[in-house]
Amino acid sequence: MIIGSGFSSLSAACYLAKAGFDVSVYEKNDTVGGRARQLVKQGFTFDIGPSWYWMPDIFERFFNDFGKSTADYYKLDKLSPAYKIFFSDDVITIGDSMDKICAEFERIEAGSSAYLKKFIAKAQENYDIAINKIVYRPGLSPFELVTKDTALRVDQFFKTISGQVRKKFKNPKLIATLEFPVLFLGAKPSKTPSFYSFMNFADFGLGTWHPNGGMYKIIEGMKSLAEELGVRIHTGNAVEKILVEKGQATGIIVNNTSIKADFILSGADYHHSETLLDPEYRQYSEAYWDSKTFAPSSLLFYVGFNKKLQNIEHHNLFFDTDFERHAEEIYDRPKWPTEPLFYVNFPSVTDKSMAPEGYETGFFLVPIAPDLEDTPALRQQYFDIIIKRLEKRTKQKVEKNIIFKESFCVNDFKEQYNSYKGNAYGMANTLLQTAFLRPGLKSKKVKDLYFTGQLTVPGPGVPPSLISGKLVSELIEQKRTH
Ligand SMILES: Cc1cc2nc3c(=O)[nH]c(=O)nc-3n(C[C@H](O)[C@H](O)[C@H](O)COP(=O)(O)OP(=O)(O)OC[C@H]3O[C@@H](n4cnc5c(N)ncnc54)[C@H](O)[C@@H]3O)c2cc1C
């Protein structure tokens, strides 16, 4: 029995069904996908959450585990350029090869490409170690992190990515470019161990991809795979309680009806999942959760434009204000950002299916601290700020071409996903929130109760969620056979 239908739950559902379990999924929302659902409106298609397809090898590995490939479910394009970063006085374009990226680095800072090549070579080694030797381990013990390769790199767990980048690169724009990938892990680059530079290899080495039709194609593919394997999916069914008898999970209550199960796995936010238990069965206190570094929440806008926009790419980062100050306003002094950095995704630039002919689909994201006050007036205030910045940096007028917009923010994250403090992408990967130091996949207090998803192992993001589902299903299989 699985609670939730995000990437982690669907991944676990597929592995468990393949292993012969009778799997039922209960999802509170009307469609599957969790944070990765889809909004279709007036011919525009929006991915509600994730839009960056990084680490294509992990997606391939997932489908390969079932004798399939990604191509059986969706068509992938490598984006060229991968993305564009707008600064106040320049624009950096990240190409689809190291040669193009090196040329861009040289344009900004002569001599920087030699350092870049070394930095990415090291990042590639870390990627191989992380992906092939560490990340597929369940976080049960500190010894999982101890391998010959990590022992040689132990310093990289105590140095930060920020320190590492600043040692060799002096230009603030290049520093911001190299610090950007670890933002996906949910913490400040100055709090993220330098071992996570493998995200830089994912970025520059493996490239940025796009599934035709959007990220929701992956969810649709996983849903069909799960159903092919015999999984039954019940949407519009919020789980109200996890039943426990004498320390043993026995079932759930949905719509006032109790349903028995041998194993319960929750892919809903970990904090919420524990609130479905009677207090004596919860492993982590409110004080524990409150003391953790959570990934940011986000203010999101889904916008339909009735014209094609100029000077934009599929992915666009607006880093034209103070990166440090915005990061402090997320992590150190939580408040609405004074001058926000933001991200805009225009998938219709490369994929015609995402918008009506001659129109543009725009997804705007402003990262903000979790649990901030969220009102219609604040949302509008920030929309006005970012639209003006988009117009200024891309040198065009667009405001009058907006034919609709919808927004999503802290209150929606809480209401739609039972997200702790309205976090967008889980608990950050800092040194003290890595591997065995994260909330565990297996309950320590209730037998046969398990957890998966971005608040547990290995961490935030779509690829880690796929891996989380695999890891937890292996633990459940081991339990069955012992
Ligand atoms: C705005 C945004 C942008 C992102 N961008 C990227 C990106 O570009 N690339 C990337 O790799 N990652 C990105 N991420 C992160 C990525 O989307 C997540 O890490 C991943 O989707 C999390 O999956 P999950 O299975 O852990 O959780 P979720 O997707 O949250 O799934 C949990 C599910 O449980 C359900 N649920 C909750 N309570 C109950 C209940 N009581 N009963 C039944 N069901 C319940 C929820 O409705 C939800 O469907 C982004 C996330 C957001 C929000």
Per-residue pLDDT 10s for the chain (482 aa) are: 999 999 999 999 999 999 999 999 999 999 999 999 999 999 999 999 999 999 999 999 999 999 999 999 999 999 999 999 999 999 999 999 999 999 999 999 999 999 999 999 999 999 999 988 888 888 888 877 777 787 778 788 779 999 999 999 999 999 999 999 989 888 899 999 999 999 999 999 999 999 999 999 999 999 999 999 999 999 999 999 999 999 999 999 999 999 999 999 999 999 999 999 999 999 999 999 999 999 999 999 999 999 999 999 999 999 999 999 999 999 999 999 999 999 999 999 999 999 999 999 999 999 999 999 999 999 999 999 999 999 999 999 999 999 999 999 999 999 999 999 999 999 998 888 988 899 999 999 999 999 999 999 999 999 999 999 999 999 999 998 77
pLDDT of residue 482: 74
Cα of 35 vs centre of ligand 1, distance in Å, is: 3
State the sign of the Cα–Cα–Cα–Cα dihedral 176, 180, 185, 186: positive
Between 216-228 and 56-64, two packed helices, what is the crossing angle to 10 degrees?
10
Token pair belonging to 313: 């790419």
Q: How far apart are CA 185 and CA 160, in angstroms?
A: 13
Contact 37, 245 (CB under 8 A): no
pLDDT of residue 440: 96
pLDDT of residue 343: 97
Nearest atom of ligand 1 to the alpha carbon of 272:
38
C-beta of 409 in contact with ligand 1 (< 6 A): no
C-beta of 427 in contact with ligand 1 (< 6 A): no
pLDDT of residue 410: 98
First to last CA, the chain: 20
C-beta of 28 in contact with ligand 1 (< 6 A): yes
Token pair belonging to 76: 């992938």
Token pair belonging to 75: 């068509």
Is the whole-model pTM more than 0.85?
A: yes
Cα of 334 vs centre of ligand 1, distance in Å, is: 23
pLDDT of residue 155: 80
C-beta of 6 in contact with ligand 1 (< 6 A): yes
C-beta of 465 in contact with ligand 1 (< 6 A): yes
Ligand 1 atom 33, closest CA: 4
pLDDT of residue 432: 86
Cα of 453 vs centre of ligand 1, distance in Å, is: 8
C-beta of 305 in contact with ligand 1 (< 6 A): no
pLDDT of residue 430: 87
Contact 458, 470 (CB under 8 A): no
Buried b (16+ CB within 10 A) or exposed e, 162-174: bebbbeebeeebb
pLDDT of residue 197: 93
CB atoms within 10 A of CB 97: 14
- Phi and psi based region of residue 256 (left: phi greater than 0; alpha: psi -120 to 50; beta: remaining): left
Phi, psi of 197, rounded to the nearest 5 degrees:
-60, -10
What are 356-360's contacts with CB under 8 Å, separation 24+? 356/42, 356/43, 356/44, 358/306, 358/307, 358/308, 359/43, 359/44, 359/304, 359/305, 359/306, 359/307, 359/308, 360/304, 360/305, 360/307, 360/308, 360/309
